[in-house]
Amino acid sequence: MNSEVQFGCYYPVFNNPVATEFVLKNFRKHFPQNPIVLISDGGDDFSSLASKYGCEYAYLDNLFGDGTLERPFAPYDSFRTKEWWRRQKLTCDICNQQYTMILEDDVFVRGDFYFEREFALCGARWGNSFALGLREDIRRESGLVIPRYGMCGGSLYNTRIFNEIYEDVIKDIEENHDALLLKEEYINPGEKISQIGAVDANMTYHFGKRGYQYEVNPWMVEISEGSVYTDGAHPIVHQWGRRGESR
């Protein structure tokens, strides 16, 4: 059990209370005091679970989408992307911690961890390759080379840095986001969706443009990485339950 509070959590949920309770129950075994903002994304009422596990709770309009032409799952337009950033800001303001962790229904926290050095943001080891347009924007604006992104569940970002860049990012999204969605160089060959409209790519992109490097999360492993997740060396497991792992 880690008694030092260094981070808070952003946790969007929809309609899987069994998975949500699994995540919260295991997280609280190791981080009983860390603040969590549990947000029902226009789905079920999770207020009882929020109360049981000591979370701040909000019920907000659906952001994820419903798969229709009017509200596709991806890509997000500027309105939905700004709202996603706004929900991160809400979490940062409520939790008021050094770092913010992104929780999802497939995150299994099975051990303690703590931070010994400052970092900007860290996520999946493999992640996804950035499309050329995003890589070049980052390199041109900051000089950084960031070939991949992976700000999935289990990822962490620096709250101070987030707050410092937030207003500039919102302005950038308002002025440029929708136009970039239409550019071919923001879509990887063989893919159909512009990466600028994927929030995990979008966060890495905007941090990177402003000079902040994406790193591999040393505390996290993904099920897709194979048997390495069974060694217990990583306290955060992402993709839990996708291949039949028990809850």
Q: For residue range 139-192, what is the model confidence (pLDDT) as tens digits?
A: 999 999 999 999 999 999 999 999 999 999 999 999 999 999 999 999 988 888
Q: 64 and 36 in contact (C-beta within 8 Å)?
A: no
Q: 11 and 36 in contact (C-beta within 8 Å)?
A: yes
pLDDT at 91 over 70: yes
pLDDT attached to residue 226: 67
Q: 140 and 105 in contact (C-beta within 8 Å)?
A: no
Task: Identify the band that residue 71 occupies on the pLDDT scale cut at 50, 70 and 90.
Answer: confident
Q: Which tokens in the block code for residue 79? A: 């309105």
Percent of the chain at pLDDT > 90 equals 82
CA proximity to 183, closest of 227, 131, 237: 131
Q: Which tokens in the block code for residue 231? A: 């060694």
pLDDT attached to residue 152: 96
User: What is the average pLDDT score of the chain?
Assistant: 93
pLDDT attached to residue 233: 82
Lowest mean pLDDT among 135-139, 152-156, 241-245: 241-245
CA proximity to 124, closest of 187, 34, 204, 185: 204
pLDDT attached to residue 126: 82
pLDDT attached to residue 230: 63
Residues 6+ apart with CB under 8 A from 166: 85, 89
180, amino acid identity: L
pLDDT attached to residue 121: 98
CA proximity to 99, closest of 152, 161, 28: 161
pLDDT at 211 over 90: yes
Q: 242 and 223 in contact (C-beta within 8 Å)?
A: yes
Q: Please state which of the four CATH numbers 3.40.50.2020, 3.40.50.280, 3.30.1360.30, 3.90.550.10 is assigned to the domain occupying 7-238.
A: 3.90.550.10
Task: Identify the band that residue 133 occupies on the pLDDT scale cut at 50, 70 and 90.
Answer: very high
pLDDT at 43 over 80: yes
Task: Identify the band that residue 18 occupies on the pLDDT scale cut at 50, 70 and 90.
Answer: very high
Provide the b/e sequence for 71-87 (b: ≥16 CB within 10 Å): eeeebbebebbbebbeb
Percent of the chain at pLDDT > 70 equals 93
DSSP E strand boundaries for the chain? 7-13, 36-41, 56-60, 99-102, 107-109, 121-123, 128-129, 148-149, 156-158, 214-216, 220-222, 236-238
pLDDT at 70 over 80: no
